[in-house]
Structure 1
Amino acid sequence: MASEAEKTFHRFAAFGESSSSGTEMNNKNFSKLCKDCGIMDGKTVTSTDVDIVFSKVKAKNARTITFQQFKEAVKELGQKRFKGKSPDEVLENIYGLMEGKDPATTGATKATAVGAVDRLTDTSKYTGTHKERFDESGKGKGIAGREEMTDNTGYNFWMAFQGACIT
């Protein structure tokens, strides 16, 4: 069980850190692990509890914790989360929550399509010269919709004028 917890620790430790080898975890990733794995439930274990425990187990001037320090922190949070259980049961339950978990990235950033965005992307509401920039389906015409394209076929006044001036 502990080896599975260690794998989860390394996945979360390396998450979002391009220079991290995954051997040490910062407070942000520790909080993410606690939230994503369900250790932090918002009632018995809050984000404040997680921050306090992280500060308690890390070395004095360090910003990260090792796996050994992580185990101490998880043990302390587990005592709070699973009150009335033996330390062995607590660790087993905590490791069970962590088993096979990866850092969640879904729903982190969502595209918005309300209000002004909806109105500005609806080409059927365009009027005047702006509506000439789109075809019937609403697809943009590109440069053909933005510039007046000249037709160089047929009689050209300027060429006739130049010819009159030369002779």
Structure 2
Amino acid sequence: MASGGKDAVKCTLREYKERTEKADAMKLTPFLKCMEACGLKQYKTATESSIWNLNADTAKKCTMDQIVSKVIPDIAADAIARKKGIKGRARHDDPDVVKLTDDILCKFAAKAGQAAHKATKTDETTARLTDASGYTGSHKERFDKDGKGKGLEGRVDKADNSGYVGNYKNAGTYDQCH
């Protein structure tokens, strides 16, 4: 596979890595989710049980380069070995392993640029309940005219505690009475 294809694979992997992860690496769970999204569910068990641990560092992470150059070929080698009934793994230079590796990489590359998380669909009931323009009473005070929430300002009635005594309501009018 050309380096442009490997870049597409890395792009797909980056879509699935944890958002808090700063390094160009990922943990097993996001990788398995990515595999499932790419239609490679049949290889999850082998990846989870042995292949990932052979290539991961002490933090149980693999870099994108490791995934492309080691993990995916190991997945292909393991699958071919199981298919042929070989104990252990097949050799990486086996033509069947090379072909399966390319097929797996192509499936990852085909997902490049597609968002990992799809927008949720809302039914008409949810849309009606979340439309703030239909709210009445005190609930309508919690939103501005655009339907954006006002936060604490919309939920709390702030008391004017500017008087000398807490319940004195006419602050600043004492001198006007006398």
CA offset digits 1:103-133 (Å, max 9, x no partner): 52126x666889xx8xxx6xxxxxxxxxxxx
Distance in 2 between residues matched to 1:139 and 1:12, nearest whole Å: 42
Unaligned runs of 5+ in 1: 122-137, 146-167
TM value normalised by structure 2: 0.50
Instruction: Give the 5 Å matches for 1:48-63.
Output: 48-52=45-49, 53-59=51-57, 61-63=58-60
Distance in 1 between residues matched to 2:124 and 2:139, nearest whole Å: 28
Once the two structures are aligned, what percentage of the paired residues are identical?
16
Instruction: Give the 5 Å matches for 1:83-162.
Output: 83=83, 86-102=96-112, 103-106=115-118, 139-143=134-138
Comparing 29-38 and 61-70, the one that deviates more: 61-70
Give the letter aligned to residue 56 of structure 2.
K
Give the letter aligned to residue 100 of structure 1.
A
Return the offset for 1:74: 0.8
Question: SS of the residue aligned with 1:65?
Answer: strand
Distance in 1 between residues matched to 2:35 and 2:63, nearest whole Å: 16
Find out whether 1:79 has 2:61 as its counterpart.
no
Question: SS of the residue aligned with 1:18?
Answer: coil
Contact 2:55 2:62 in 1 (8 A): yes
Find out whether 1:37 has 2:38 as its counterpart.
yes
Give the corresponding residue for 1:16.
18
Question: SS of the residue aligned with 2:54?
Answer: helix
Aligned length: 120
Find out whether 1:64 has 2:74 as its counterpart.
no
Question: SS of the residue aligned with 1:86?
Answer: helix
Q: 1:19 to 1:74 in 2, by over 3 A?
A: closer
CA offset digits 1:58-107 (Å, max 9, x no partner): 13x23211234313211122234464662221221111111131452126
Larger radius of gyration between Structure 1 and Structure 2: 1
CA offset digits 1:128-148 (Å, max 9, x no partner): xxxxxxxxxx93333499xxx
Q: 1:113 to 1:51 in 2, by over 3 A?
A: farther
Distance in 1 between residues matched to 2:98 and 2:108, nearest whole Å: 15
Contact 1:39 1:81 in 2 (8 A): no
Question: SS of the residue aligned with 2:18?
Answer: coil
